[in-house]
Amino acid sequence: MSKKEKRMKETMKKVLKKRSGKLDGLPKKLKNKVYNKEIERLQTEMVKLQEWIKLKGLKVVVLFEGRDAAGKGGVIKRLSTRTNPRIVRIAALGTPTEREKTQWYFQRYAAYLPAAGEMVLFDRSWYNRAGVEHVMGFCTDEEYMEFLHFCPEFEKALIHAGVILIKYWFSVSDDVQEARFQERFKDPARRWKLSPMDLEARARWVEYSKAKDVMFEYTDTKHSPWYVVDANDKKRARLNCMAHLLSRIPYKDVTQKKLVIPKRQKDKGYKRPPLSKQRFIPAVY
C-alpha cells in the first residue's frame, strides 16, 4: 500500500468516526428505519405543497448551490420523487452556448422561471458567475463585480413580480468532500459525477471558499437570504432541507377532495388486434 493510499484510508476512518458521532460531539448516524419513514412523510407533504401551488397559482423558485459532492442532487431527487414534473420542474443548465454567452447574463436563467402554478428547482443557478466563472476565469472582473451589485436587484425584481425565492447553500467540510470524491472515483456508476471542472475545483478549495464569502457578503439580503445546509451527513441534510422548504411556504392539504371514478366505457364490439402483429421486447427477466 502506497503512502497516498494510507493517507486516504486514514481520512476515510476519520470521516466515518465523525459520522458515527465519535468525534466533535456529532450526532450518531441516523438509522435507516427513521430516515426512510421521515423521507416518506416529507415526500407526501411535498405532494400536498405541489397541489397547493397549482391551486393558488404560486410561482416558486428554489436555488441549490454549494460545494461539489455536497449532496445538492440527492436533495433535489428526493424532493421531486413523487411530484408531477409538469408542476415541480428541475433546471440543470449546462455550459452556455456561444450565442448564450453574448446574451444578458440572466437571460438564459429567466427562460426557466416558473409560470403560475409551478415550482422550479435550480441545480446550480445564476450564482455560477460568483463561483465557478469567477474562480476559473470564465468572466472578467468587471462582469463579476457587475453581477455582485446587480444580483440583489434582480432577485428583488423577481420577488416583486410574485416569485417565492428560496436559496440554499450546501456546506461540506474538506475531509468529507474528499471522501465522497474518492467514493465516486472508485464507483464506475458514479464516476460521471466527477467532471474535469469538479476536479479543478478540488484543487482550488481556498479560492472557492473566498468566493463564497464575498458572494454571501453581497447577496445574503433581508429580502432574499441564504439558508445554509450542513451537508456533512447526507441523510440529515436531505431531511432538514426538505422540512425547511415545506416550512417556508404556508400551504393547506387540498389532496383530500373526493374523487369520482367514472364507469368504464363498454367495448361495443371493439376487438384488439392480434398480439402476433405487435413487437414485444424480449422477456429477459
For the ranges 114-118, 200-204, 248-252, the lowest mean pLDDT is seen at 200-204
Q: Does residue 16 form part of some domain?
A: no
Q: Does residue 123 form part of some domain?
A: yes
Mean predicted confidence (pLDDT) in 181-201: 73
**Other beta carbons within 10 Å of 169:** 21
Tens-digit pLDDT profile for residues 5-45: 555 556 555 554 554 444 444 567 899 999 999 999 999 99
In the chain, the percentage of residues whose pLDDT exceeds 90 is 68
- The domain in which residue 77 lies consists of 31-277
Instruction: Quote the pLDDT of residue 82.
Output: 96
Q: Using an 8 Å Cβ cutoff, are 52 and 84 in contact? A: no
Output the pTM of the full model: 0.83
- Mean pLDDT of the residues in the chain: 88
Helices then strands (H, E): number in the chain?
Answer: 11, 5
What CATH number is attached to the domain comprising 44?
Answer: 3.40.50.300
Instruction: Quote the pLDDT of residue 22.
Output: 42
Rounded to 5°, angle at Cα 245 from 172 and 183? 30
Q: Does residue 183 form part of some domain?
A: yes
Q: Does residue 46 form part of some domain?
A: yes
In the chain, the percentage of residues whose pLDDT exceeds 70 is 89
Select the more confidently predicted residue: 65 or 181. Answer: 65
For the beta sheet containing 88-91, the strands, ordered from the edge strand earlier in sequence to the opposite edge, are 88-91, 118-123, 59-66, 163-171, 226-230
Q: Does residue 285 form part of some domain?
A: no
Number of domains within the chain: 1
Nearest to 109 by CA among 155, 69, 159, 175: 155
Nearest to 191 by CA among 201, 180, 202, 207: 180
Distance (Å, whole) CA 46 – CA 157:
27
Q: Does residue 3 form part of some domain?
A: no
pLDDT at 103 over 90: yes
Instruction: Quote the pLDDT of residue 29.
Output: 83
Maximum average pLDDT range among 43-57, 185-199, 250-264 = 43-57
Pairing between β-strand 59-66 and β-strand 88-91 as defined by DSSP bridges: unpaired
Q: Using an 8 Å Cβ cutoff, are 232 and 173 in contact? A: yes
Instruction: Quote the pLDDT of residue 196.
Output: 74
Instruction: Quote the pLDDT of residue 20.
Output: 44
Tens-digit pLDDT profile for residues 208-265: 999 999 999 999 999 999 999 999 999 999 999 999 999 999 999 999 877 788 888 8
Q: Does residue 209 form part of some domain?
A: yes
Distance (Å, whole) CA 65 – CA 170:
6
Q: Does residue 1 form part of some domain?
A: no
